[in-house]
Amino acid sequence: MPSDNPPTNPFNQTPSQTASQTASQTSDAATASEPGTSRGGLPVHADGSIDLSRLKLDALDTEVVRPMTNAEYCERVYASAEGDCDRVPWAHRGPDDLLVQWLNREGPSLVRPGSRAIVVGCGLGDDVVELDKRGFDVLGFDVSPSAVRWAARRHPRCAARYMQADLLDLPTRVQGRFDLVVEVCTLQSMAPELRGLAAKGLSRLAASRGIVLAIACGRRCAEECGSMEGPPWPLSTDELESLMTTAGLANLGTVREVDAADHEHLRVMGVFVKG
């Protein structure tokens, strides 16, 4: 059982300064049904999804305007939300339902409480709390320092379990250390050309024989990804399996599609092991 005392995070580091918020926010009252309007200060497509291509960061003391990196985009979303979970499009105010189901059904045969676990892109921290309650020695990281601070405020008992890190540029002290790597909806948030590097990051986190659980927004294999505007960029089961196996992970079963009643979109999930 998890201790009532706040845990010590051996990998903890001080988050970097929040990225400068120089782009002005439009009214939250704008409707997401019209392209060019914004939701929570963020530009959206006609279907209401965030238009990453129109998120810009003005360089200080210069007239140069450049597209945001993935890290800057995530930081902008969390920082501009100003503590309002409703302004973080992917926040659910609780642990992921497919993670909970997996921990109840399949997980006990593969990993035991007390095992070292890490949550990738932990956001507001709910999946970390779920694993902590189940007795795992868990850490969570996010590329956004604002998300890390917010998670610590929401879950003070687990505050030491959150850290800032980038899946695409992992610190060596977290590599090869974990019996369970939990990836929920991080791959789908990255442009397709970055997914291979991200999958290698997942593999690097796992210890030998470590388990990687991957859950993402899904699409049917016949649907073309290139025509989709993101984020998110949904994955097919074939894509998820190919990404993981290319990164050095073996499929432990069927990578499957999941139609969850409480989710708007199809999702895909798979369980992998590091050789």
pLDDT tens digit sequence for 27-80? 333 333 344 544 445 556 565 555 554 544 443 333 344 566 778 888 999 998
Amino acid residing at 104: N
Say whether both 80 and 129 belong to one domain: no
Say whether both 75 and 138 belong to one domain: no
User: Residue 26 domain-assigned?
Assistant: no
Which conformational region is residue 121 in: left (phi greater than 0), alpha (psi within -120 to 50 degrees), or beta?
left
Of 53, 87, 121, the domain-final residue: 87
User: Residue 80 domain-assigned?
Assistant: yes
Considering the entire predicted model, what is its pTM?
A: 0.75
CA distance 40 to 157: 29
Say whether both 43 and 158 belong to one domain: no
Amino acid residing at 228: M
Structure tokens given for 216: 């993402």
Say whether both 219 and 135 belong to one domain: yes
Say whether both 112 and 224 belong to one domain: yes
Write out residues in the chain with pLDDT < 70, as ranges: 1-68, 221-230, 260-264
Which run of H or of E encompasses 204?
A: helix 195-205
Say whether both 160 and 227 belong to one domain: yes
Parallel/antiparallel/unpaired status of strands 137-142 and 162-164: parallel
Say whether both 58 and 182 belong to one domain: no
User: Residue 11 domain-assigned?
Assistant: no
User: Residue 5 domain-assigned?
Assistant: no
Amino acid residing at 213: L
Say whether both 134 and 161 belong to one domain: yes
Report residue 269: phi and psi, to 5°.
-150, 155
Domain CATH for 116: 3.40.50.150
- The total number of structural domains in the chain stands at 2
Which run of H or of E encompasses 193?
A: none
Structure tokens given for 168: 């695409």
User: Residue 190 domain-assigned?
Assistant: yes
Say whether both 194 and 122 belong to one domain: yes
Buried b (16+ CB within 10 A) or exposed e, 109-132: ebbebebbbbbbbbbbbbbbbbbb
Say whether both 55 and 133 belong to one domain: no
Torsion from C-alpha of 230, 197, 120, 122, nearest 10 degrees: -40
pLDDT at 189: 87
pLDDT at 198: 96
User: Residue 65 domain-assigned?
Assistant: yes
User: Residue 136 domain-assigned?
Assistant: yes
User: Residue 255 domain-assigned?
Assistant: yes
CA distance 52 to 192: 13
CA distance 140 to 116: 11
Say whether both 103 and 81 belong to one domain: no
Say whether both 187 and 169 belong to one domain: yes
Range of the domain at 203: 97-274
